[in-house]
Each structure stands twice: as C-alpha cells, then as structure tokens.
Amino acid sequence: MELYIDTANLDEIKQANDLGVLDGVTTNPSLIAKEKIDYGKRLEEICRVVKGPVSAEVISVEYEGMMKEAGERAKIAPNIVIKLPITVDGLRACKALSDKGVKTNMTLCFQPLQALMVAKAGAFLVSPFIGRLDDVAEDGMDLIQRIRQIYDNFGYKTKLLAASVRHPKHMVDCALAGADVATVPFSVIKQMLQHPLTDVGLKKFLEDYKKAFGG
C-alpha cells in the first residue's frame, strides 16, 4: 500500500519524507491557502523533496482553463500529477490529458459511478473522500469497498487513493479493503507508529537493563 501525505506544509513534508516510507504528496486549494504561498512556487519546493507523485489541483472549473493550468503545472516537474474535480469538464480534461500521457488525480469522488467514469477516461488516481462522507452520516469505507470491487471486476488500472482520512482506524480499514494508496495528514502518519504498550514496554526494557548493569 502506498502512503501519501495530504498537506502543502513543507516542513511536514520533509519530516514525513525523512521517515523513508513516503510515496507521494497531495495538495488542494484549501491546503495551499493555509500556507499563504504561491501555488507554483510551493509545488517546485515539494518536488525537490519528494520524487513520487505530487498532486497539483487546478483552480479553473472549465475545460479550457483546466487544460491551460495543467500544461503550466506539468512543466514544474516530471512527477506532477494534475488533480481535477469530477465534473463534466474535469472528465473531458482527464481524458485529454491521459491520452497525452499526463497523469491525473480525479478528486471529490463521493459515489462509485464517478470512480467508474474516471477509470474509463484513463485517470491515474481516483480520490474518494472517506471523512467527508462520514461527516454527513454516510459510510466512507463502503465507498472504498465498492470502488475496489468495480475496479477489480473490470481490471481498471486507475489507483484507488483513499482521501479525507481522519484517523488511524480509517487507515486500517483502507488497508483491509485494498485501497492502493491513502493520503493522510501528518498527524495521522505519526499516529500510525504509536501504541501505549510500545512506550510502556520500551520503558520497562530500559529500566530492567539499567537495574542489572547500571549506567
């Protein structure tokens, strides 16, 4: 399973990358707005740190604007993936970019047929938003399972990227459901390494050793 970090914060990206298990980065306009920095400049900085796929989301909502932005962003680095909303224009842009060999991440996926459509258009990644579905009393994990089943039924190559991951339980369920990738805030990446019994056990090992041998 691949692990991406979902942030535009360079310090968090560097810290996650230093763990040695980071496969990519996703950004979105809200995450960039939090950083108060030019989007293109931040993407350049991110691509200097991470060599795996780095998703850059378009701001335009119309096909022509999406294609123009995609062309500009794709020049930043070879690992840029163009992130597009799943709309009629987004789907057209996905197909056109995929046909040209440009990778896309189709975002804001909330139902299985959206995932089916973008797979047919040649998307590299599809991003179902688990947490936002849970927020409105729907079942985010059910969406992951359904997309997994549909993609497996027809052998679609689009990677299932679980997004809007909010806590470690989401991660466990995504791994069990066969999500190819999860994009995760840095806080959750850190939680993935934690268990209170690990801390208690380590403390005891060191105390026992010290008692026996001093130091």
Q: Which residues bind ligand E4P (CB under 6 A)?
A: 6, 26, 28, 107, 127, 129, 131-132, 163-164, 183
C-alpha 43/C-alpha 186 separation (Å) is 18
Nearer to ligand E4P, 142 or 199 (CB): 142
- Closest separation in Å from C-beta 161 to ligand E4P: 7
Nearest to 132 by CA among 117, 143, 148, 119: 143
Among 83, 95, 190, 210, the one annotated catalytic? 83
- Closest separation in Å from C-beta 211 to ligand E4P: 46
Nearer to ligand E4P, 129 or 156 (CB): 129
Spatial contact of 176 and 197, defined as CB atoms under 8 Å apart: no
Nearer to ligand E4P, 131 or 168 (CB): 131
Q: Could you confirm whether 83 is annotated as catalytic? A: yes
Q: How far is CA 79 from CA 25, 74, 95, 194, 199, in A?
A: 10, 8, 19, 31, 38
- Closest separation in Å from C-beta 75 to ligand E4P: 22
Nearer to ligand E4P, 26 or 114 (CB): 26
Provide DSSP, 65-122: HHHHHHHHHHTT-TTEEEEEESSHHHHHHHHHHHHTT--EEEEEE-SHHHHHHHHHTT
- Closest separation in Å from C-beta 153 to ligand E4P: 25
Active-site residue list? 83
